[in-house]
A and B are shown apart, each in its own frame.
Chain A
Amino acid sequence: MSLVQRNRIKRALISLGTIAVVYGVAAEVGRYVLPHRIWMDVHYIDNVELLPTYRSLAEEMAFLLQSWILPDSILVSTGRILAGFVLGAATGIAVGLATGRAARLEYLADPWMMLLRFTPALALLPLYVIWFGYGEASKILLIATSVAVVVMLGAHHAVRGVPQVYLDAARALGASPRLIFRKVVLPAAFPQIFASLRVALGLAWVTIVVAELIDAKMPSLGYLLALSGAYPRVPQMLIGLGTIAALVFLSDMLALSLHAKVTRWMRRTG
């Protein structure tokens, strides 16, 4: 581990530790100061903890773990993310590479891309329910769509952005279009494609929360969040949020370390 990395971890620990302490104090004070009864539009709700203490968070966590609600939710939601992500990424890369490479295809695809860029995939939710019904298919396809749009644009522009000098040099050396695509276009475009995959992975986690409101069923992280809002149970809400944040962070870390491994050739700053 380099000194820079060690310093970064140290900084993260200090800053997170500080926040944790401040929160703990605020929650303890809040237990006496904050109202336990809130007005929710049409009625009062009692026994609300606006700022849950560590003790109630721990109790809630114990409950969610012992009942297997949280582990099962993580498994189910992560599985959907994986399926949707793989499907969407594969489609997006294939289409993006094709439109980026073939001028004639781009002529057709360009207006579509504009349209897609400005259409939030989440807005397709009601349509997908009608097309694919309640159930796994519409959830996974919604994630796949939001991933595919981002990755397709990324791959398209990555291929377009391959510097002409590399293509010229390869042609001058007698390389066939196939060889140029495999050994020049793909590796040159790879960093940008990967960057779009990373963005898409984050987006997939956003999408899952919404997608799991279709045919809302336990176990799933999206529904866990929705339920915690309906009770409302703030400790459960915070744990749900924290879990999703941790999973997004984890998947991003995974993506980053993979990225570093496969682009050792790139110049790095810092």
Chain B
Amino acid sequence: MAGKPYRLGTGNGNLIDRSKPLGFTFDGKQMSGFAGDTLASAVMANGHKVFGRSFKYHRPRGVIGLGSEEMNALVGVGEGACHEPNLRATQVELHDGLVAVSQNRWPNLDFDVGIVNNALSRFFPSGFYYKTFKWPQRFWKDVYEPFIRRAAGLGKAPTGPDPARYEQIHVHCDVLVVGAGVAGLAAASAATASGLRVILADENPRFGGLADISGGTIDGKPQRDWVAARCGELAAAGNVHILARTTVAGHYHHNYVMLFERLGDHDPAAVVEDAPRHRLWKVRAGQVILASGAIERPIAFANNDRPGIMLASAVRGMVERYGVAPGLMGVVFACNDDAYQTALRLKAAGVGVARVVDIRANPEGPLAAEARAAGIDVTPASAIAAIIDTHGGKSIEAVKIAPYSPGRGRVVNESRIDCDFIAVSGGWNPAVHLWCHNGGKLKFDEGLQAFRPDRHTDQMRIAGAANGTFDLAGCLDEGYNAGEAAARDVKGKAGRKMKRAKAEQAAQGEGQSIWFSPATGKYNEGNKHFLDFQNDVTAADVELAQREGYESVEHTKRYTTLGMATDQGKTSNINGLGIISDASGKPIPAVGTTTFRPPYTPISFGSIAGTHARHLFLPVRRTAIHDWHAAHGGDFEPVGQWHRPYCYRSASEDRHDAVNREILIVREAVGLLDASTLGKIEIKGPDAAAFLDRIYTNTFSTLKVGRARYGLMMNELGFLMDDGVTVRLAEDHFLMHTTSGGADRVGAWLEEWLQTEWFDYKVFVTPVTEQWSQFAIAGPKARDVLEKLGCSFGFSKEEFPFMSMQEGTVGDYPVRAYRISFSGELSFELATPANFGLGLWEALLAAGEEFGMKAYGTEALHVLRAEKGFIVIGDETDGTVTPFDVGMGGLVSKKKKDFIGKRSLEQSFLKAPGRKQLVGLLTDDPKFVLPDGAHAVADLKPKPPMKTIGHVTSTYWSPTLKRSIAMAMIENGQALLGQTLSFPLESGVVRAKVVEPVFYDKAGERQNV
């Protein structure tokens, strides 16, 4: 039934503005509501109860709660790239033109084929996926996985890049008040009045918490008036930052708190131009006051998930705030006095109340008396035993109730009550999530049958319902006390003492807990007692977990997924503990709780990224030659944070063409490489040589001034971590080169050793990577270029031998020059101060033009070195490779008494046979280039499993040799020289011969000319 009967008359709906109608669509259907409605209230006002289909069983579900505790009505809002899934309909504020859809149903909400899961539910108990999808194995990839992927999840992801802007902001404050209900407003008022810097945040658009649906007066007036007055005062104060629609999402060490603010979701039209969509506040608070309120809990009775079954506070909230009735005739199912407020409010609004069913034997409190006096029937000592539903479970037509006493028992003497909605209260749980994020302890309150905060190590206080204090006077008192105490802690002396407001409220009698309401008929099948609505976990599932041995609360949680949905068990955790307690015989405090973790409710990825998105995702490091590379076809690749040219492509070339061309230029003429990114570290002091002797595996104290030596660096485990050529500039002065990616890491490594271990060494370590531009001029014609440009130093073989250095000028530029070769050709590396870099680069290219000089990139560099068998840290090494494994045992000094990694290298297993060793590979088919990481097998079989004996570490097409080459780490590789290995690939088996890992100029003559 649709339309008017569900929208109540004036006197109800104090948040909606009936003069401002709004149009929106839900599942394509045009509907209307009012300004102030939520999507939940507006859809329900149109007579629709079903909002989605549940996760596992695809049962129809409707709204159950009032705010962020909603776990059923999860909808998708917005279209295309702006679509946001899994929003709680109770928190979606209605705006004109809003487009929303239900989730997890196909083909549509009314008829969903997934409902077959419900009929087959006996095959889908908790943990069924641990016992299924196993056989046959060939179904894993093509049958099970696609099926599971389609079935998984609830909503749909947006279909394009997010166009919105997001921000993050860092703030310090004296006091952060979480929650702007009565207790929070009292605390914020006290802190503000003492002159502190205060931030007050609440997840709702309006402040006051549940003040508008709780009875009682403050200073003789309705609670709402007191709330409005405090809000006005705070807004006028200059020292308090008021944040509405802002969830306090997480509490971290030392009062670091994350706040998630939604600026524009409620009305895109109202967003100020260029404002961010969401803002993440990173707050460092001196004191935190938690006034986060409490959340009502449902009761586990048979089929308690049907549309129309709601929390009692949500029902009266719907009536009071939005003027919406969930149905025409309701039953209130209560375990406390609080739920009677709902019965009274319904009655006052003219909505039928068939009965209040109370589990307690003698409900005698003032609210119960008031209800009876208003003509509402109350049936004590009873509970709901069954639901009679219609339309395939989409709505209710009656309940069956029966006498109730705690403990399991057969249901007898049932009676039927016709109704189409039910308001349930199983009690209230203090919202202690933020208290627990960072190690806060809880204690179980027997009176409340709920957990309350106990101790916390951070400067955090708690007030009001979050502390288990539900009476109005208590909330006010605790709020003021917390604010004043926080002020005293911040100032070091007492702040302003606040005048206490006077609260009058009907006293409430004691409630009684009920963890399980026995059902009519066969247990479980057809009679599901839901605990966790979002993950479809029932009481039977929790009992199954206990029977199967998953007894601890942590195991039960993970086995059943109770409390693991996006609501983190806000309405299910305690009820689940009750069932575990009943099943195990242990009292709830002995069962314990699981941990709450941030975020309290989901926050957007956009807000987490903030401005670190797109081109601002990572810092970008560029050499002084970057713009030249870009202007000359430079095809960049990331090397750590650096952008380096992989190759230089002309319009007619692809990457392969360019790389091959560059390699041949270096081998046959001369090439120019920008090597500025390689790490450079100056090491200076009387103990510099001794220090280097401890850092490298080989000896540097014997290196003559003006000479260069390749060094290997191990970590203390004996594994290679970096390499590079180090030059001795003077007796007490060295220049170390590291890999590009290792520059910062090695610099920090050297500092750590000097400051924390060998602090008597007199050595300064100064990273200078960015201070110098450095270029390699490589190729047989290198000298021709230097001659053309003009050098202040000699560059013949005798004047400038291999592995030595010179200092002077090239052209007009001051340089340090090193004869180092990574390509295996005649090579001069020139270092000039970075400001001169581009000038020298262009001068070299101009001088080299007649000799065919061209720039070459990182890929050509890698192929050239592979042809020579030079290792690259990170390709041939992976953190488990020793110098002996790569054939460089000769570089491990036998004379030095101590160097990093020496002792570990002496372990027998690091020298044992069977270790992977560096070899070269030549494929039988010279045109085939092995894929990087391809595995070799000892014993080829038709299909896996096969024992692998190593893998390819570097693999390229070599234009120099006109065939493919590869380097690999193979077990006992040196003993396998000459043998052919098999590499089983998806496309077939490839065979390659094991050779020495040098393919070109084995004697090393070309670099030595």
Are A and B co-members of a single complex? no
The chain B residues found within 8 Å of chain A, CB to CB, are: none
The chain A residues found within 8 Å of chain B, CB to CB, are: none
